[in-house]
Amino acid sequence: MTTPPTASQTVGPFFHLGMAHLERGNFVAQGIAGERVTIRGQVLDADGNAVPDAMLEIWQADSSGRYGGEIFPQNSATPRFLGFGRIETDDKGEFSFTTIKPGRVASPDGSLQAPHIVVTLFSRGLLKPLRTRLYFPDEPGNADDPILKLVPQERRSTLMARCSGQRGAKNVPENAPPKIFDWKIVMQGDGETVFFDY
C-alpha cells in the first residue's frame, strides 16, 4: 500500500518570509579547498521580463567531487564544504553567489560527470520547481557528460555558464578573487533553458 507524494504548490510571492534564514550569497567558508567562482545571473520569463520573485536552491559537490553531510556543523574542527545554498532574485531578476567549482561526480554507469551545479528554481507561477544544471565552459569532461548527452546539441548552451573573468589559471591561490561566470535562466520561449524531470 503506497500513497503518492503530497502535491506540490507554488511558493508564491511571499516565500522570503519563511525561506530567508537559509539565504546567503557566499557558500564558501575560509579554509575550504577549491577554486572560487562567482555565478552571476538573471531569471527571465517568456517575454524576456525579469523575474524579481524567484528563489534558487543550489546543490553541488566539493572540489574533490564529494557531496556534503550535515550542514553548519558546529563542533567540526576542519571546515567542511556544505554544498547547499539558497539565493533570491532582486528587483532586476538578478542573482549572484560565490562558491567553489565542484569536482567530478560518478554517474550510474561508473563514468564521471563533468563539474556541474544542480539548480532548483522556485517562484510565483511555478506550481512545482524547475530543475536544471549549470555546467562550466571549456571543461574536458563536458564532451562525455552522460547528462549533457541527453540534451539536444542545439540546446546544450543554455546549461553552460559563460566565463567573464580571468580564465584558465592553474593553482589559483585560495584568496584570489573568484573567477566570474554569467548564466541566464529563461523560463519559456526563445533560448528557453533546458529543464529536467527527475
Partner 1 sequence: MKAASYGRAPAGTQPNYLYPQYVSTCKRSPKQPLILLPHTLSELTGPVFGHSEIGENDNDLTHQHSGEAQGERIIVSGRVLDEEGRAIPGALVEVWQTNAAGRYRHRVDQHGAPLDPNFTGCGRVLTDREGRYRFVTIKPGAYPWQNHPNAWRPAHIHFSLFGAGLLSRLVTQMYFPGDPLLPFDPVFNSVPDENARNRLISDFDWDTTMPSHALGYRFDIILRGRQATPVEVSP
Which 59-88 residues touch partner 1, going by CB under 8 A? 59, 61, 67-74, 82-84
Instruction: Between 82 and 161, name the residue whose CB sits nearer to partner 1.
Output: 82
Calpha distance 48→44 (Å, rounded): 5
Q: Is residue 8 involved in binding partner 1 (CB under 8 A)?
A: yes
- Using CB atoms within 10 Å of the CB of residue 4, give its burial: 0 to 12 exposed, 13 to 18 middle, 19+ buried: exposed
Calpha distance 50→163 (Å, rounded): 22
Please list every residue from 22 through 41 that binds partner 1, using CB under 8 A: 22
Site pattern 40..59 for partner 1 (x: CB under 8 A)? -----xxx-x-x-x---x-x
Residue pair 195/128 in contact (Cβ under 8 Å)? The answer is no
Q: Is residue 9 involved in binding partner 1 (CB under 8 A)?
A: yes
Residue pair 133/149 in contact (Cβ under 8 Å)? The answer is no
Q: Is residue 125 involved in binding partner 1 (CB under 8 A)?
A: yes
Q: Is residue 154 involved in binding partner 1 (CB under 8 A)?
A: no
3-state secondary structure of 21: helix
Instruction: Between 10 and 63, name the residue whose CB sits nearer to partner 1.
Output: 10
